[in-house]
Structure 1
């Protein structure tokens, strides 16, 4: 009888152990999935708190200035030389909205983004204002080609004017209307201007050959343009969001759990 009871106790302990272990695994997984909105906390802290981020921004704009200096005064006097620049994380720092969403444990949505842009409280990426002002004084026309919605032009212009950026008017702000691709807008500018430089934090800011491509294809396209980086194409750092992140998920909607799984599978160890 004691042996039988002992067996029952042993089985009960075994089942309890397995149950608790299962609960622990599920709890760990739920924490990982639940905290999907926290994934960007380190990139945002890096953007806001690291001197390294500031140094990279200054480095990009210093290099851009050197490239403009290589263009002859004779060519500048002919006029119609344009610089195309993205806005978000290239000229305007939007890390504040990401930080606020983390504090409130919210996900980024169009509504949250629009609420942020409407308040016109952004600051400039380090080095951006001085570079664009310098370029304007030298005779270059600045075009702001952004995937902000066209309804955000008015509030964005408040930011541009507050930061004393050149060409801060609606005619120089080409925002998204029908498509997120910037190729048509670049082509429109190229009809009347010679585009001497493009600035952005996303490879889609430079050419349409990067759009909706796999990770491997984006690498290949980047290698093909090797001679342009630091010359005609000036890249600003952004580890928080962009097409590089969308490429991880093959540009398709994924649940938080699926995203977490994909990120772990893509990691390259040794």
Structure 2
């Protein structure tokens, strides 16, 4: 999960175009609930919240939980074979600085919406009508109450039991390290020590930090570990994205498409992410209505 900084490529915000009416199911599908005859418009003066359906799905849909379970169970089934293959490495070539021979195995996970569930924070924004801000986000992190997402505790505990280092690269600010480590432990996730958390602001010698990109921190890991797998909810959790637009995102992923589901495991996040500002030229200074208009313009209607 990448950081939610409004002035960066990766930020909290709103999912465009929530459906106002459920599709009509065939009459023969007896298990399907009946669709409403007509959608009711919002009450006068009450604007629809673009993130409502996304957060509701994340919190209540069993399909959400099943995707996480499926992903982490599949990764666990593949982990030991990856560890036995001494040439196996899940870091992109630009981030691999040291030869993998003789290095300790590790897995690298993003934290937010990959390991920990922050949907209550998103729900609070919906209820208040607000948008992401650093103070409220830090307060939520300091509560240390985010729950582990389905399947991740069993998987990471399995990895640690078999001698695989569990490392978390997050765009949570470095000064949230103690709260974050405490939350991880509280949720049942393995934490070998403070070095397990590489937050935004981690100093990496001889590497120039590009915004909130995680490349420098992946390079730091590459000096000590052979990375068996990476996990995240955004492509920036796996590889550096130089241009956050449709073409740039596709270009960043193209060399590694065969790694999806074997070395890289991508998890769903419809509530926020770099995908969203890519729809409005990454301009968080634009008025909220203008950002929404540009997101609607990005939709396909045929």
User: Given the two structures, how large is their TM-score scaled by the length of structure 2?
Assistant: 0.74
Q: Confirm or deny that 1:267 pairs with 2:267.
A: no
Q: Could you list the per-position Cα deviations for residues 54-87 of structure 1 after superposition, in whole angstroms to 9, with x for gaps in the alignment?
A: 11111111121122132255859x6601111100
Asked if residue 180 in structure 1 is aligned to residue 212 in structure 2, the reply is: yes
- Cα distance in 2 between the residues matched to 1:87 and 1:214: 24
Aligned residues: 238
Shift of 1:159: 0.7
Task: Kindly name which structure, 1 or 2, has the bigger radius of gyration based on alpha carbons.
Answer: 1
| Structure 1 segment 42-191 matched on structure 2, within 5 A | 42-73=53-84, 75=86, 80-177=104-201, 179-191=211-223
Residue pairs, 1:1-20, within 5 angstroms: none
Q: Distance in 1 between matches of 2:300 and 2:251?
A: 19
Of the structure 1 ranges 102-111 and 118-127, higher mean CA displacement relative to structure 2 is found in 102-111
- After superposition, the C-alpha distances for 1:86-119 in whole angstroms (9 at most, x for unaligned) are 0000000000001012112222211111110011
Question: Unmatched 5+ residue regions in structure 1?
Answer: 1-27
Deviations 1:149-186 (A, max 9, x none): 01100111111111221125211110001641110000
Q: Is the 8 A contact 2:103 2:224 kept in 1?
A: no
Asked if 1:205 is matched to 2:237, the reply is: yes
Does residue 40 (structure 1) correspond to residue 72 (structure 2)? The answer is no
Superposed CA RMSD = 2.2
1:146 Cα offset (Å): 0.3
The offset of 1:139, in angstroms, is: 1.1
User: Deviation string for 1:8-48 (max 9, x for gaps)?
Assistant: xxxxxxxxxxxxxxxxxxxx9x96xx747x21111100000
Cross-structure match for 1:234: 265
Higher relative contact order structure (alpha carbons within 8 Å, sequence separation ≥ 6)? 2
Q: Give the conservation status (yes or no) of the 8 Å contact 1:87–1:145.
A: yes
Which segments of 5 or more consecutive residues in structure 2 lack a partner in the other structure?
Answer: 1-41, 89-101, 202-208
